[in-house]
Amino acid sequence: MRQLAVIPHPDAKITLFSWNGKYLIKLEKGPFEQTYKVSELDLTSEDDVHTLLDEEFIGSAVQRFRLMQQDLQAAFDRHGI
């Protein structure tokens, strides 16, 4: 796996990788991460990946991080951990 870029954003760490014919878009926030795999054949260049990472996409991912935290906390609460 080859790291292509770290894309600065205030709400999440975003890292772009190339691996096995795919671009991997990895977003991290605290203990959570989301990875999106996009075939290199679906895009014309790495620049297309940057285009995909618009504010709407990132905003949805950040909201998903909040939901992930809620899901984990609910599981802890259900089991008294």
* Rounded CA separation 81/42 (Å): 44
pLDDT tens per residue, range 61-73: 999 999 999 999 9
Domain count, the chain: 1
SS (H, E, C) 21-49: CEEEEEEEECCEEEEEEEEHHHCCCHHHH
CA distances from 19 to 8, 33, 38, 63, 68 (A): 21, 18, 10, 27, 26
Q: Which residues pair with 39 in a beta bridge?
A: 22
* Residue 24 belongs to domain spanning: 2-78
pLDDT tens per residue, range 1-42: 999 999 999 999 999 999 999 999 999 999 999 999 999 999
pTM for the complete prediction? 0.91
* Rounded CA separation 80/32 (Å): 21
